[in-house]
Structure 1
Amino acid sequence: MAKSPLQRLAMEKAQAFKTHDQERRAQASRALAEAKIADYVERTLADAPPLSTQQIHRLSSLLRSGGAR
């Protein structure tokens, strides 16, 4: 059975954490986090009414800041 992109990235992260390569671990963690966020945003927007320009700018700012307030 084919694995979903999220499953594949989770497996890659698990494999990375079996090594002592800190950069590989960091890259795998970032890739999985990005995929989870993108999946959530896509699913949420599919069910949401159209956003206003102001709402889009606010959400874009949140993403650009990395969630820092």
Structure 2
Amino acid sequence: MSKTHLQRLAMEKAQAFAPRTAPDPERRAQAWRNLAEAKIADAIERNLAGAPPLTPDQIKRLSGLLGTGRQR
């Protein structure tokens, strides 16, 4: 993921929360989700780039974290 893509998403989030704009809860939530997803994807890509292949159990465990979100 490029740094400029993350910067664009961060700017979109900042604009959604700017005091001069009318509150739009859905726009704010979407901007926040988009930035979070991009940061998570970037972290995964960076960590897997130099790591040995994961085992099926490791992949399942990590996938489970994504599937449950905050529900731990």
TM over 0.5: yes
Using structure 2 for the length normalisation, give the TM-score: 0.86
Aligned to 2:4: 4
Using structure 1 for the length normalisation, give the TM-score: 0.89
Aligned to 1:37: 40
Distance 2:51 2:71 in 1: 24
The 3 A distance-change label for structure 1 pair 22 and 67 is closer
- Identity percentage of aligned residues: 70
- Equivalences, count: 67
Distance 1:24 1:54 in 2: 37
Aligned to 1:17: 17
Q: Which runs of 5+ in 1 are unaligned?
A: none
State the structure with bigger RCO (CA 8 A, min sep 6), 1 or 2.
2
Aligned to 2:53: 50
Q: Which runs of 5+ in 2 are unaligned?
A: none
| Superposed structure 1 runs of 4+ greater than 3 Å apart | none
